[in-house]
Amino acid sequence: MGPGELSLSDPSRPFRRELRCPFRFLSFQFPRADLRVRDGDLRAVTATAFARTDGCHRLVASYLSRLGRSAAELEGPVGHQLGRTALDLLAMLIDERCGRFAPQAPDRAAALLVRVMDRIVRHLGDPELSPAAIAAAHFISVRYLHVLFRAEELSVGRRIRAERLRRCRQELLEPAAARDGVAAVARRWGFVSPSHFSRALREEYGQSPRDWQKWASERNASAAA
């Protein structure tokens, strides 16, 4: 093995590791059952090196290195979720090595998609939220992120747009929106340009922000009467 490479060891299979020069290495231990890959695939990659030129290796190695540096600060649900992501990425690397890489099918891909969706919802107000930012936050490539969304009704970019517009429409129906103004509502949910927001809302729902506010005002007045 060389610098930056990684390998798997299975304590149920006898092995010997010889280190003939000064070294430092990072070791992770996890239950075999938590790495959801085929037994035959795991045996095939045990005691083999994943080189830096392997497809997903750089992604997985980078994530594990960062996880190792911050491990002492992680606890509870956060640590568990990050560990689960590490195993998902490792399983993806094994699938790729064994020629079984089909991201839309495995349970781990579905679990990763749930976490991506959760991040989208929690960061809708960030104007920098984008496919590239989401991919970087989950230590995956933008290409793989788009693969995850192939079975979804909307692409990742359109999902972000649709969720932002839905939240804006909800706020525009509230009396407070008339006081805050359309531009403030748009900014709160990640739209930098009010004019772009108005066009997008009309395209999505067939009405402008002012139309929505007018309808909400008339509805509220009718309810009060």
- Domain edges within the chain: 1-98, 160-224
Question: Rounded to an integer, what distance in angstroms lies between the CA atom of residue 93 and that of residue 60?
Answer: 8
* Strand, coil or helix: 8: strand
CB atoms within 10 A of CB 118: 11
Question: Rounded to an integer, what distance in angstroms lies between the CA atom of residue 53 and that of residue 45?
Answer: 16
Please state the pTM of the whole predicted model: 0.53
DSSP letter at 106? S
Structure tokens at 104: 């839309």
Structure tokens at 143: 């290409």
Q: What is the pLDDT of residue 127?
A: 92
pLDDT per residue of the chain (225 residues) written in tens, 0 to 9: 777 788 888 888 887 777 777 888 888 888 888 887 788 888 888 888 887 766 677 778 888 888 888 877 777 777 777 888 788 788 878 877 776 555 444 556 777 787 888 888 889 999 999 999 998 888 788 888 888 888 778 899 999 999 999 888 888 877 776 677 888 888 999 999 989 999 998 898 888 888 877 776 766 666 555
Partners of 6 in the β-ladder:
50
Q: What is the pLDDT of residue 222?
A: 62
Residue 221's Cβ-count burial label (10 Å; 0-12, 13-18, 19+) is: exposed
Tell me which residue has tokens 């092995």.
15
